[in-house]
Structure 1
Amino acid sequence: MHTPFIRNHEYNFIKKQAELIQHAIRTNADPKVLESVRYSAATKLEELFPNANDEQKRLLAGLSSLTAAEDFQKYLKALEPYLLEFPQITEKQIQKLFPKNKKLKLPDLDLLDRRYVTYIGWTDISTNKLFMVYPINGQFFGVEGRFTPTHKKSYCFVCNRYEELVLFSAVSKKPPKASADYYKSVGNYLCMNGHECNANITDVTALEKFIDSVIR
């Protein structure tokens, strides 16, 4: 019986470490350099999973000793049963996150492989809006805003990969202080393709900071 403990962004991080080791092997790196890369990967995985039990530690430690390309593939495949799925969410739950949007376009939840999802993101071309759903401490949060295609590649603030981007401008309306019209806009550059972003993200710090700046 496999007990899932690896979130999508953590799995992507493990894949990144595997790629670094494979690159060192393919380029015939100096043995000391290769050993350093292996040690760095092992150390980073220990830091990523500080509460791992003995079985999980043994599973993760296996990465640093691999040599052949097929071994890396088998290793990553063997991790799949341990992936934590994105929490189950219904269309009604999503609609409740955006109460003012009466004609909300919903994503096709049936097409999602929740093992490889860190956040649910989708666009509505007709309204030029981008929507994002993300769980924090067992509670779902929804963020919506305008998106403006940049028609160029740069680094996404969420996954930090060089991809085609849009400028995502989310508006947060707070309880009125001096004025009932009080609001703030929070913008950042985000992957145009949410699927690719989910496949690349290795750290949720920037994502959670952005969401926090909008909802709080």
Structure 2
Amino acid sequence: MSTPFIRNHQYNVIKKQSEFLLKTLRTVADRRVLETVRFRAATIITEAFHYLTEDQQQLLEQISTFETAYDFQRYLDALEPYLESFPPITPKQIQKLFPKNKKLKVPNLASIDFRYVTYLSWVDIATNKLFIVYPFEGQFIGIEGRITPTNKKGYCLFCNRQHELAFFSVKTKPVNSSPDDYYAVGQYICMENQGCNQSITDTGSLEKFILSVRK
């Protein structure tokens, strides 16, 4: 049985390098350049992991040997059993993360393929609020804020792809402040979270933002 070790954002790194290497193979004839790109692709992938066993590293580094689109797709398909899913969570657990929202509308969790989720999010259209749930150090963090479409494209803080953006504003409380002392922290993020989850290759900016606004 395969032991999962690839998180969604790491799988996205692998997909991105597969696409880039295939494109290079189709457009570049110089063998020295190709070998450099092959080596670089394998290096970028392995560096996306804090720790790899020898077998895991060998599995990932196979990318440097492929030639055709079929080879790369078969490689990606073969990695799917190793995907580490978003931690199991129930609607009740989600509701506890947002205790002030008595009428919180939780998404249909059964419809989500959690293998491809780095952060769980959904929008309450009635209130224009975005809710995010993120697993961090063995626990879930929940944040909520107002979401405002910008009707323009730019780079998302979370996935760093150019896409249609929204402004996400979260009220938070300064350390050692009075109960009524709040300020807002805002960032531009993707309007469409599924595409964001499919594109995110590094959790650093996402975690920094979430930790800066959690109560």
TM-score band w.r.t. shorter chain? over 0.9
Alpha-carbon separation, structure 2, partners of 1:49 and 1:180: 41
The letter of the residue matching 1:115 is R
Number of the residue aligned with 1:95: 95
Alpha-carbon separation, structure 2, partners of 1:161 and 1:6: 21
Alpha-carbon separation, structure 2, partners of 1:198 and 1:32: 35
User: Shift in Å at residue 176 of structure 1?
Assistant: 5.3
Number of the residue aligned with 1:152: 152
User: Shift in Å at residue 169 of structure 1?
Assistant: 0.4
Alpha-carbon separation, structure 2, partners of 1:36 and 1:197: 30
Alignment gaps of 5+ in structure 2: none
Alignment gaps of 5+ in structure 1: none
Alpha-carbon separation, structure 2, partners of 1:30 and 1:186: 49
In percent, how many aligned pairs have the same letter?
A: 58
Which residues of 2 match residues 1-216 of structure 1 at below 5 A? Answer: 1-173=1-173, 177=177, 179-215=178-214
After superposition, give the CA deviation of every residue in 1:113-168 in whole Å (9 maximum; x if it has no partner).
01000000100110010010000011000010001001111111100011111100
| Range with bigger deviation, 16-25 or 73-82 | 16-25
- Indicate how the Cα distance of structure 1 residues 33 and 150 shifts in structure 2: closer, same or farther if over 3 A, else same: same
The letter of the residue matching 1:113 is D
User: Shift in Å at residue 36 of structure 1?
Assistant: 1.4
- Indicate how the Cα distance of structure 1 residues 92 and 174 shifts in structure 2: closer, same or farther if over 3 A, else same: farther
Q: Is the 8 A contact 2:13 2:48 kept in 1?
A: no
The letter of the residue matching 1:142 is G
Measured on the aligned residues, the alpha-carbon RMSD in Å equals: 1.3
- Indicate how the Cα distance of structure 1 residues 46 and 166 shifts in structure 2: closer, same or farther if over 3 A, else same: same
Alpha-carbon separation, structure 1, partners of 2:112 and 2:21: 30
Superposed structure 1 runs of 4+ greater than 6 Å apart = none
Corresponding residue pairs, total: 215
